[in-house]
Chains A and B, each alone.
Chain A
């Protein structure tokens, strides 16, 4: 497939502020070594460079339709970017600290264009409702959550080989919500309209909050 690579390279290196940047170790392939690369997140594109001063990226990971998971590996602070598309490659990355890893996982799981569009639509509706008169309705408590789409940060202690992607029904942790079904993209006026953004965001945020409080508790221990 042809791609406007020159424009892509320009987008990677232009002056605008980036959404996240830092060194990460990238696993070359299933049994390959990790290579240290300079990563730059801009929009839904995760670019990686040989080094911080390189003028052109070595490559880019397009972040639509992905989930971001912690993985257990020999390397510390490892996480994986996985795609619903069965034949797509999973990227295994390792940060240099716990804080850096958390920052990347959070940033990457919310990097998709779809997620941003959800937020924008929600705000658009709120503003329209306010302008039509009166206060916006209070956010509804999530009831039947309809898990959809990408952008879910899942905290998993299982190694990539053992994980079965989206079908992890028989796992420990009764409070853990099921992983979303295989990705279905949203149409502009499609099913996403029926689930409020807050419901979806609540669902996505549950796992993050659970693990975060777990981590905070473990830090509090001597």
Chain B
């Protein structure tokens, strides 16, 4: 699949929501743990060799599942292949929880559901649609009907 790689590289250089050096193990059987600089930017997780400026790779974090693996590790897998897991090792349980929380909130779909939730809550409290003042209340992507139960 073609994609705008230069833009993705530029994105990887933007300030991150979270960044840390973690142990990372790929999904292939027999892969070993490697130290990687892991950076969360919008809905992408970039991973770099610790001394390089360009990322080795990126994971788009849509329809992914973040699960705790050991005392201080977690894994990311994707809905179309749940057994294929990217493993990450943190230095503490606290860091692990921080990453898991951030990754779960990092998808566009999560943001969209949050928006619909807040919109609904505010509408219930005030009787007014808070999106109206922004001129986006009619957008199909923010309608309650679009959200699966």
Q: Given A2-B58, A88-B10, A123-B130, check contact A83 B118 (CB 8 Å).
A: no
Task: Report the Cα distance A19→B8, complex, angstroms.
Answer: 21
Q: Given A17-B146, A185-B15, check contact A11 B2 (CB 8 Å).
A: no
In the complex the two chains form, is B60's CB within 8 Å of A64's CB?
no
* Chain B residue nearest in CB terms to A106: B139
In the complex the two chains form, is B6's CB within 8 Å of A87's CB?
yes
Interface positions, chain A 136-166, Cβ under 8 Å from B, are: 136, 139
Does B97 sit at the interface, judged by CB under 8 A?
no
Does B83 sit at the interface, judged by CB under 8 A?
no
Task: Report the Cα distance A186→B42, complex, angstroms.
Answer: 10
Q: Give the residues in chain A near B56, CB-CB below 8 Å.
A: 1-2
Interface positions, chain A 1-55, Cβ under 8 Å from B, are: 1-11, 14, 16-17, 19, 43-45
Task: Report the Cα distance A65→B114, complex, angstroms.
Answer: 22
Q: Given A19-B141, A120-B115, check contact A139 B133 (CB 8 Å).
A: yes
Task: Report the Cα distance A186→B114, complex, angstroms.
Answer: 20
In the complex the two chains form, is A130's CB within 8 Å of B9's CB?
no
Q: Given A11-B60, A185-B15, A190-B15, check contact A62 B8 (CB 8 Å).
A: yes
Which of B's residues lie within 8 Å of A, judged by CB? 1-11, 14-15, 17, 41-43, 54-60, 62-64, 78-81, 108-109, 111-112, 114-115, 118-119, 121-122, 125-126, 130-131, 133-136, 139-141, 146, 148
In the complex the two chains form, is A60's CB within 8 Å of B1's CB?
yes
In the complex the two chains form, is A7's CB within 8 Å of B78's CB?
yes
Which of A's residues lie within 8 Å of B, judged by CB? 1-11, 14, 16-17, 19, 43-45, 56-62, 64-66, 83-85, 87-89, 91, 110, 112-114, 116-117, 119-120, 123-124, 126-127, 130, 135-136, 139, 185-188, 190, 197-198, 201, 205
**Main secondary structure on B side of the interface with A:** mixed
Could you give 28 example pairs across A and B, Cβ below 8 Å? A1-B55, A3-B3, A3-B58, A4-B58, A4-B78, A6-B78, A6-B81, A7-B62, A11-B63, A17-B140, A44-B42, A60-B1, A60-B3, A61-B3, A88-B4, A113-B108, A116-B112, A116-B115, A119-B115, A120-B114, A123-B119, A127-B118, A130-B125, A139-B133, A186-B15, A187-B15, A190-B15, A198-B134
Task: Give the distance to chain A from B4, nearest Cβ to Cβ, in Å.
Answer: 6
Q: Which 10 A-B pairs have the closest CB atoms?
A: A2-B57, A59-B2, A185-B14, A43-B108, A123-B118, A85-B10, A113-B42, A187-B15, A10-B80, A7-B78
Most chain A CB within 10 A, of B43, B56, B57, B126, is at: B43
Q: Give the residues in chain A near B111, CB-CB below 8 Å.
A: 113, 116-117, 120
In the complex the two chains form, is B134's CB within 8 Å of A127's CB?
no
Q: Given A3-B60, A62-B8, A88-B10, check contact A44 B43 (CB 8 Å).
A: yes
Q: Given A3-B60, A6-B80, A43-B62, check contact A62 B11 (CB 8 Å).
A: yes
Task: Give the distance to chain A from B43, nearest Cβ to Cβ, in Å.
Answer: 5
In the complex the two chains form, is B78's CB within 8 Å of A10's CB?
yes
